């Protein structure tokens, strides 16, 4: 059964918090990883690897660079 | 036909390291390219690095480090019968570095060959040295990692110019009744050969940072753990973990997953940058000099880099 947006958002919030220390509550769909959350490209790789372990969906580097917002990642995982 | 008889084991008798004199700080780089001290420190963890001038070659760096290791070992040049140089930045491809370095150090007629496994080169060379001693192909081996990366870098390309540097490190490997160099775990991932490359003679070094970061932070801790397992050593028993000094965030990520809870983690990159095959012996020689690691303790080495290649083994600290 596909995960809901809320379930993925909760999982992403936990992952972002573990990797960057940013509170999970700040990880909301409209947030831009670079501009709003100040997350750099290497932390994005760590987030992608952790998301793969959590949701079973691989996010390759050539796709990762197009995922600018939290919503973009949710959509990618749901697709 | 007979086979030669070697020693039961091999060990490192001494390490030595050498850095060129010229310091390049992050502020120096920020005058030339769009970057900052804060950006560099947060991405790669480097504060400053050393660069050799036009008068100092990768051969000169190797002679300095090799000479220091030899002096620290107490052996004479004439005691060495094999010289192995790990390098991927030779300016002249012919002749090899090992014969030239041996001659400069006064080592007469040793076996002499180079190894190119990029940043993993020192661990490959150390394994070859250990095997040579154990099979009887050599008695005392001088192993050197040396790199002059500065001559292969476009200093206007901030993806690489903030990372790489010059230096050399060396080890003297001798016979031992008990094992002082553990079994090597090595391998490669040639499907990612484009990730770090100098494509041709007219090109500079290029690196796909995210690809390398993902690989290094996910594929290598099992290699390090296997090297411990094959040596019969629990990671918690390690006195030191000396991974290739690629990027402080990679070092910290691998160390976290390794479980080497009692080990001093090498962070020589902060003041040395990424010196490829030189980084592991350079880092460990400085940790020994500063008294940070105990003689007789166990250090886990983990080299990884272009190829992609990797190699890891446990060594007893001299």
Do B289 and B236 fall within a single domain? yes
Do B146 and B220 fall within a single domain? no
Examine residue B119 and state whether it is found in any structural domain, yes or no. Answer: yes
Considering chain B, what percentage of its residues have pLDDT values greater than 70? 100
Do B227 and B276 fall within a single domain? yes
Closest CA to B185 of B246, B115, B124, B240: B124
Residue of B nearest to A19 (CA): B253
Residue-level length of chain A = 79
pLDDT score recorded for residue A79: 84
Q: How confident is the model at residue A17 (pLDDT cuts 50, 70, 90)?
A: very high
pLDDT in tens, B253-304: 999 999 999 999 999 999 999 999 999 999 999 999 999 999 999 999 999 9
Do B170 and B108 fall within a single domain? yes
CA distance B163 to chain A (A): 14
Q: How far apart are the first and last CA of chain B?
A: 37
Examine residue B45 and state whether it is found in any structural domain, yes or no. Answer: yes
Residues whose CB is less than 8 angstroms from the CB of residue A28 and which lie 6 or more positions away in sequence, other chains included: A9, A70
pLDDT in tens, B36-61: 999 999 999 999 999 999 999 999 99
CB pairs under 8 A between A and B: 25
By residue range, what is the domain housing residue B249?
A: 185-316
Residues whose CB is less than 8 angstroms from the CB of residue B225 and which lie 6 or more positions away in sequence, other chains included: B235, B258, B259
Closest CA to B122 of B260, B318, B313, B316: B313
pLDDT in tens, A43-64: 999 999 999 999 999 999 889 9
State which of B133, B148, B176 marks the end of a domain: B176
Do B203 and B170 fall within a single domain? no
State which of B158, B176, B194 marks the end of a domain: B176
Q: Do A45 and B217 touch (CB under 8 A)?
A: yes
Q: How confident is the model at residue A2 (pLDDT cuts 50, 70, 90)?
A: confident
pLDDT score recorded for residue A1: 57
Examine residue B3 and state whether it is found in any structural domain, yes or no. Answer: no
Is B208's Cβ below 8 Å from some Cβ in A? yes
Do B20 and B165 fall within a single domain? yes
Do B239 and B147 fall within a single domain? no
pLDDT score recorded for residue B203: 95
Q: Could you say which residues of chain B have pLDDT below 50?
A: none
Examine residue B1 and state whether it is found in any structural domain, yes or no. Answer: no
Residue of B nearest to A42 (CA): B210
Do B56 and B97 fall within a single domain? yes
CATH number at residue B312: 3.40.47.10
Examine residue B193 and state whether it is found in any structural domain, yes or no. Answer: yes
* Assigned token pair, B286: 């400085």
CA distance B85 to chain A (A): 33
pLDDT score recorded for residue B142: 98
Do B26 and B155 fall within a single domain? yes
State which of B118, B148, B176 marks the end of a domain: B176
CB B7 within 8 A of CB B175: yes
Averaged confidence pLDDT in chain B: 97
Do B125 and B230 fall within a single domain? no
* Assigned token pair, A27: 């990880």
Q: How far is CA B111 from CA B7, B37, B132, B272, in A?
A: 18, 45, 11, 31
Q: Do B43 and A61 touch (CB under 8 A)?
A: no
**What domains appear along chain A, each with residue ranges and CATH number?**
5-78 (1.10.1200.10)
pLDDT score recorded for residue B118: 97
The CB-side HSE value for B276 (13 A sphere, CA atoms) comes to: 32
Do B149 and B227 fall within a single domain? no
Chain B hits for A67, Cβ within 8 Å: none
Do B52 and B168 fall within a single domain? yes
CA distance B42 to chain A (A): 9
* Number of domains within chain B: 2
Examine residue B4 and state whether it is found in any structural domain, yes or no. Answer: no
Chain A hits for B210, Cβ within 8 Å: 41-42, 44-45, 61, 64
pLDDT score recorded for residue B111: 98
């Amino acid at each position: 059964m596909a995960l809901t947006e809320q379930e993925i958002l909760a999982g992403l919030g936990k992952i972002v918090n573990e990797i960057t220390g940013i509170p999970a509550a700040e990880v909301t769909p409209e947030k831009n990883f670079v501009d709003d959350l100040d997350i750099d490209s290497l932390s994005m790789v760590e987030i992608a690897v952790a998301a793969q372990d959590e949701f079973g969906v691989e996010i390759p580097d050539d796709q990762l660079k197009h995922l600018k917002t939290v919503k973009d990642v949710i959509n990618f995982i749901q697709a | 036909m007979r086979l030669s008889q070697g020693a039961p084991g091999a060990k490192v008798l001494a390490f030595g390291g050498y850095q060129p004199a010229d310091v390049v700080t992050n502020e120096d780089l920020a005058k030339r390219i769009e970057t900052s001290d804060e950006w560099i420190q947060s991405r790669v963890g480097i504060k400053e690095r050393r660069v050799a001038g036009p008068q100092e070659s990768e051969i000169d760096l190797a002679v300095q480090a090799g000479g220091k290791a030899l002096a620290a070992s107490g052996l004479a040049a004439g005691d060495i019968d094999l010289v192995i140089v790990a390098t991927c930045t030779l300016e002249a491809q012919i002749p090899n570095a090992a014969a030239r370095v041996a001659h400069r150090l006064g080592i007469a007629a040793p076996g002499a060959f180079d190894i190119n496994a990029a940043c993993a080169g020192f661990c490959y060379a150390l394994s070859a040295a250990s095997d040579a001693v154990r099979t009887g192909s050599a008695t005392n081996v001088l192993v050197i990692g040396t790199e002059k990366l500065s001559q292969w870098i476009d200093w206007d390309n901030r993806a690489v110019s903030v990372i790489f540097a010059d230096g050399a490190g060396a080890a003297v490997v001798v016979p031992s009744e008990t094992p002082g160099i553990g079994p090597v775990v090595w391998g490669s991932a040639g499907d990612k050969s484009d990730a770090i490359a100098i494509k041709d003679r007219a090109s500079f070094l290029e690196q796909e940072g995210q690809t390398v970061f993902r690989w290094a932070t996910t594929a290598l801790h099992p290699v390090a753990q296997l090297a411990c397992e094959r040596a019969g050593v629990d990671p918690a028993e390690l006195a030191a973990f000396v991974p290739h000094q690629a990027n402080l965030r990679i070092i910290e990520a691998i160390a976290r997953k390794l479980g080497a809870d009692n080990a001093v983690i090498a962070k020589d990159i902060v003041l040395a940058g990424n010196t490829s095959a030189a980084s592991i012996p350079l880092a460990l020689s400085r940790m020994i000099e500063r008294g940070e690691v105990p003689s007789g303790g166990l250090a886990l080495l983990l080299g990884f880099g272009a190829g992609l290649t990797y190699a890891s083994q446990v060594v007893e600290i001299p």
